[in-house]
Amino acid sequence: MSEAAITVSDRAARRITQIAAGDPATPMLRVSVEGGGCSGFQYRFDLVADRADDDLVIEKAGARVLVDPVSLGLLTGSEIDFVEDLMGAAFRVTNPNATASCGCGTSFSI
C-alpha cells in the first residue's frame, strides 16, 4: 500500500516534529484504530521509539507517522491533521470510510 493511502497535513507534520524535538526518545507518532468509543471504533495516538516491520511509514517534512496493517484497512483515504479550537488542540483524523462519528471526533463507525 502506498503512502498516498493516508495523508498527513502540514500542520500535523509540524506538530509531530515539535513534539519529537522535545522528546527524542519517542520520535514517531503511531496512529491506530481500536474497538471502543461511543461509535464503535476509536483513534489512538501514541509517541513511539520503534516501528514494526509491517508498519506503513508516512514521512512528511521530517515527521514520521506509523500505521499498523489492521488499522490501515480502516484508515485508507484518511487525512491526519492537527487542529486547535475551543475544545483544545489535538490530532484529528478525517476518515472518508466513517459512516458516523461522535461529536468530539475521536470515535467512529463504518
Closest CA to 90 of 38, 15, 29: 15
Query: What is the pTM (predicted TM-score) of this model?
Result: 0.83
Q: Write down the pLDDT at residue 87.
A: 75
Dump pLDDT digits (tens) for 52-75: 999 999 999 999 999 999 999 889
pLDDT score of 101 more than 90: no
**For range 38-47, the mean pLDDT:** 81
- Alpha helices by DSSP H, listed for 1-68, are 10-22
Query: Which among 76, 87, 74 is positioned nearest to 39, based on CA atoms?
Result: 74
Q: Where are the domains of the chain?
A: 3-104
Q: Residue 61: what residue type?
A: A
CATH level 2 (architecture), domain 3-104: Sandwich (2.60)
